[in-house]
């Protein structure tokens, strides 16, 4: 269990790092595609490297979705989620320290947080729907590519590509979460409005993850 929790910490650390670093340092030059590819490639690499230690969840919604689908032991769900949140928060603070090292100064702002509303933003309903729907899709795909009937060794590639596609779809709407640990991590640094809105980015992805888990359990059942 210790190695599994360490893998979840490291994997979630790198997931949050890939989003924050690409968004803060490379945007707008890299654009939405740059951020999407950053998280896709990073998750793919960590799944190949350490995914065998923990299953490579890196996401409380994935952990809970796999739990309800009976693909994961319920007793390990809480320790996994704690490790994921700690890994994400650690990454956010490390990259905040890096960002504040800019000679000209750095304003944290929303720090690549997930948000809804505002004069130029999407409504709470739109954000809730896309977060729930795409998290369900993510969990459904994970269940499919890790089933005994799926081609072996392709899961990391498929999950990485799926996450990249999800971010291309969701960044313009919600800044793309589908992961409560990722949302909590940046909100803890930004505080203010992001921390007040972080509840949605826990509730919607978790509901979506549970729905994806139940659907996958039915579809992939022998």
- Which letter does DSSP use for residue 123 in this model? -
Mean pLDDT, range 181-206, rounded to an integer: 94
Give the C-alpha separation, 151 to 133, whole Å. 26
Give residue 117's pLDDT.
Answer: 85
**59 backbone dihedrals φ, ψ, rounded to 5°:** -165, 120
For the chain, what percentages of helix, strand and coil (3-state, to nearest 5) are there? 75, 0, 25
Residue among 87, 96, 97, 93 nearest 43 (CA): 87
Give every CB contact of residue 162 below 8 A, 6+ residues apart in sequence.
137, 138, 141
Give residue 150's pLDDT.
Answer: 79
Whole-Å CA distances, 38 to 87, 96, 139:
18, 18, 20
Higher pLDDT residue, 195 or 147? Answer: 195
**Residue whose tokens read 């998750």:** 43
Average pLDDT value for the chain: 91
- pLDDT band at residue 105 using 50, 70 and 90 as cut-offs: low
Residue among 164, 169, 144 nearest 154 (CA): 144
Whether domain 2-219 has CATH 1.10.3720.10 = no
Query: 179: alpha, beta or left, given left = phi > 0 and alpha = psi -120 to 50?
Result: beta
Instruction: Return the percentage of the chain with pLDDT > 90, whole number.
Output: 76
Q: Is the peptide bond before 28 cis (omega within 30 degrees of 0)?
A: yes
Q: What is the pLDDT of residues 33-65, one digit of tens each?
A: 999 999 999 999 999 999 999 999 999 999 999
């Amino acid at each position: 269990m210790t190695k599994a929790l360490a893998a979840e910490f490291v994997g979630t650390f790198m997931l949050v790092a890939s989003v924050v670093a690409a968004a803060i340092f490379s945007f707008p030059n890299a654009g939405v595609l740059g951020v999407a590819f950053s998280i896709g490639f990073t998750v793919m690499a960590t799944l190949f490297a350490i995914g065998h230690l923990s299953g490579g969840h890196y996401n409380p919604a994935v952990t809970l979705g796999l739990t309800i689908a009976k693909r994961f032991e319920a007793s390990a769900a809480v320790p996994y989620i704690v490790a994921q949140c700690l890994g994400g928060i650690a990454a956010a603070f490390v990259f905040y320290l890096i960002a504040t090292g800019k000679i000209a100064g750095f304003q944290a702002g929303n720090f690549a947080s997930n948000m809804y509303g505002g004069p130029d933003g999407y409504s709470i309903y739109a954000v809730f729907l896309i977060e729930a729907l795409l998290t369900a899709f993510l969990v459904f795909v994970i269940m499919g590519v890790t089933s005994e009937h799926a081609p072996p060794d392709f899961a990391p590639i498929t999950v990485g590509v799926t996450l990249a596609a999800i971010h291309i779809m969701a960044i313009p709407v919600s800044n793309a979460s589908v992961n409560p640990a990722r949302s909590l991590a940046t909100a803890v640094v930004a505080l203010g409005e992001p921390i007040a809105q972080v509840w949605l980015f826990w509730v919607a992805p978790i509901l979506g993850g549970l729905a994806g888990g139940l659907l996958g359990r039915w579809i992939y059942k022998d």
